[in-house]
Amino acid sequence: MGKGNNIIPNNHFHKWWQRYVRTWFNQPARKERRRNARLQKAARLAPRPVSGPVRPVVHCPTRRYNNKIRAGRGFSHDELRAAGIYKKVAKTIGISVDHRRRNKSSESLQVNAQRLKLYKSKLVLFPRKAGKPKKGDSTEEEMKMATQLRTPLPVRQRTRKEKARKITDAERKFSSFSMLRKVRVDANLWGVREKKAREKAEPKYKIKFDSFGFLIPIKHKLILA
């Protein structure tokens, strides 16, 4: 018996524990199977990119993540119009289209329009029927130089690196806690302070009635004792 008022050990070791054992011996075979599936998909899609059509650059939602960029669902109609690409033609040449997306800023419109123009300059169009090229299709030399990409124009995070330097005296004396506290108090008391300043700037009037009963405002100064 153990020391103290503890639970009495009463373990049951007559369970069929082999039934609940989870093995992972098929992991190497699954790895090989996934790799073969990727190779078959790449061969099936060749010479098109493996990951699918080109996608726009969008910012993540909320203030916490809006400084990061990622690939969006599709290009908006305004971006396609700025790049000179018809929306129905875009789907046939490997460009994703999202008819619900709207451009909230001119910067995103210009970035994605430039992205489409870059993609269009690097695009190699194969004819639908071999030996019967149409207007806009690539030449035989360009088709021979074409290579299959994993992702067309991948989206990379913008990183800004700063060189190491000494901390200045102003940075050493700066207190982020005090600054945030001051900003928060200024935001809360802005209305009260504005009202006091307005009342102080306005001239004071003393009410006086004339012989006909009309109000006559008279300016006067308040003298504090």
Q: Tell me: the pLDDT tens digits for 60-87?
A: 999 999 999 999 999 999 999 999 999 9
pLDDT at res. 225: 44
pLDDT at res. 109: 96
CA 103 to chain centre: 13
Report, as an integer, the average pLDDT of 187-210. Answer: 82
pLDDT at res. 65: 93
**What is the Cα–Cα distance from 155 to 69, expressed in whole angstroms?**
8
Question: Residue 223: pLDDT above 50?
Answer: no
Place of tokens 């011996």: 25
pLDDT at res. 86: 95
**What is the Cα–Cα distance from 58 to 171, expressed in whole angstroms?**
34
With b for 16 or more beta-carbon neighbours within 10 A and e for fewer, the 136-156 pattern comes to eebeeeebeeeeeeeebbeee
Contact criterion met (CB below 8 Å) for 75 and 98: yes
Q: Which two structure tokens, joined as six digits, stand for 171?
A: 């940075």
pTM of the model: 0.64
pLDDT at res. 208: 65
Using 50, 70 and 90 to split pLDDT, how confident is the model at 207? low
| Rg (alpha carbons) of the chain, rounded to whole number | 36
pLDDT-above-70 percentage for the chain: 89
**What is the Cα–Cα distance from 80 to 225, expressed in whole angstroms?**
75
Element (H, E) at 173: helix 169-173
Question: Residue 2: pLDDT above 80?
Answer: no
pLDDT at res. 110: 96
